[in-house]
Amino acid sequence: MIYPIYVYGNSVLRKKAQKISKDFEDLDLLVEDMFKTMDSSEGVGLAAPQVGMDIQLFVINATDIDVEDEEFVEGFKQAFINPVVLEESGKEWAFNEGCLSIPGVREDVNRKGTVRIQYYDLEWNFHDEVLDGIKARIVQHEYDHLQGVMFVDRVSPLRKRLLSARLTAISKGKVETDYKIKIPHKK
């Protein structure tokens, strides 16, 4: 199934997500549906809180991403379960980020270039990886979602003030999207 995307203003996006246990029911199905939901809304990453679940899970499919160095992201399709970012390092760089939960808004966000992350895949294999470039960027954005952080929290106070009316509008559903959304306080 395709989930509606929980947009800005839904409280689940502000919670710290819970660890997933190995006996979590139908995790395979959830991950499959999250990939489907992400693909149908043309996202490159999707975190569980964005489909209303406060669990430590995000999926990434950057295989079709439009970047100059295509080889770089080739095959970057992965589910991250119970991820832990151990270290962020390297020079900060700005990248114009967007988010399915904040439709129509894009802002330059500064983040460090390299990230070391530990996580489990869907077969519960443990991974300990160092990522950089666009891979690190997507992981940092999705990992933020599991901490209740959204990319607009990382822009300057002035930029955020300029955005506030749009964020309020989004939280009331006054926004055009090509995908189904869930706005706060509405079934």
Site residues for Zn ion per CB under 5 A: 99
112 - beta bridge partners?
92
Residue 70 token pair = 């295509």
- Is the CB of 16 or the CB of 128 nearer to Zn ion? 16
Residue 158 token pair = 């002035």
Give min distance, CB of 133 to Zn ion, in A: 18
Strand, coil or helix: what is 166? helix
Give min distance, CB of 49 to Zn ion, in A: 9
56: which DSSP letter?
S
Residue 54 and residue 12 in contact, taking contact as beta carbons nearer than 8 Å: yes
When computed from its CA atoms, the radius of gyration of the chain, rounded to whole angstroms, is 16
CA 187 vs CA 21, 46, 65, 184: distances in Å: 28, 21, 33, 8
- Is the CB of 99 or the CB of 109 nearer to Zn ion? 99
Give min distance, CB of 124 to Zn ion, in A: 25
For tokens 């980020």, the residue is: 97
Give min distance, CB of 170 to Zn ion, in A: 13
- Is the CB of 62 or the CB of 99 nearer to Zn ion? 99
As annotated, the active-site residues are 142
- Is the CB of 23 or the CB of 95 nearer to Zn ion? 95
